[in-house]
Amino acid sequence: MNDDLLELAHLKVYYWIAIICTLGCLATISIAKGFSTDYSGYSSNSIATQVIEEIKHPVDFVQHCSRTIRFSELQLLRIRDIVGLPYGWVLYMFFLIPNALPAFGLVTLFEGVGRSLDETPE
């Protein structure tokens, strides 16, 4: 019984460490990239034109989804640069948090697979 509780506690700690590392890496990468670019001079129309020219795909659904994701990323960068330091960056980091959900899902998936492989039927 105690071993099961200890294993559950280890699993929860592992999830939190994985999430914190993922958010830390995303934040570090975005900060490193962010200092070299300035999107405050762009307008919504220029961003839309840039996205349409950049992203081409033969499947319409994939093209629309890719363009939407890229447009929202560029708009977020634009808002970050218009608001400026520190509030723009705080807002930008807040909106990066949903990007960690797929990473959390992968950690959960692989941990579940590892646990099912470790358990042997008796």
pTM summary value: 0.60
Q: What pLDDT, on the 0 to 100 scale, is given for residue 21? A: 83
Q: What pLDDT, on the 0 to 100 scale, is given for residue 67? A: 93
Ranges of the chain with pLDDT below 50:
none
Q: What pLDDT, on the 0 to 100 scale, is given for residue 55? A: 93
Q: Which of 22, 6, 28, 32 is nearest to 104 (CA)?
A: 22
3-state helix, strand and coil shares in percent for the chain, rounded to the nearest 5: 80, 0, 20
Q: What pLDDT, on the 0 to 100 scale, is given for residue 56? A: 93
Question: Between the CA of residue 97 and those of 19, 24, 32, 37, what are the distances in Å?
Answer: 10, 10, 17, 21
Contacts of 98 (CB under 8 A, 6+ apart): none
User: How far, in Å, CA of 76 to CA of 90, rounded?
Assistant: 12
Q: What pLDDT, on the 0 to 100 scale, is given for residue 52? A: 94
- Quick one: tokens of 16? 């939190």
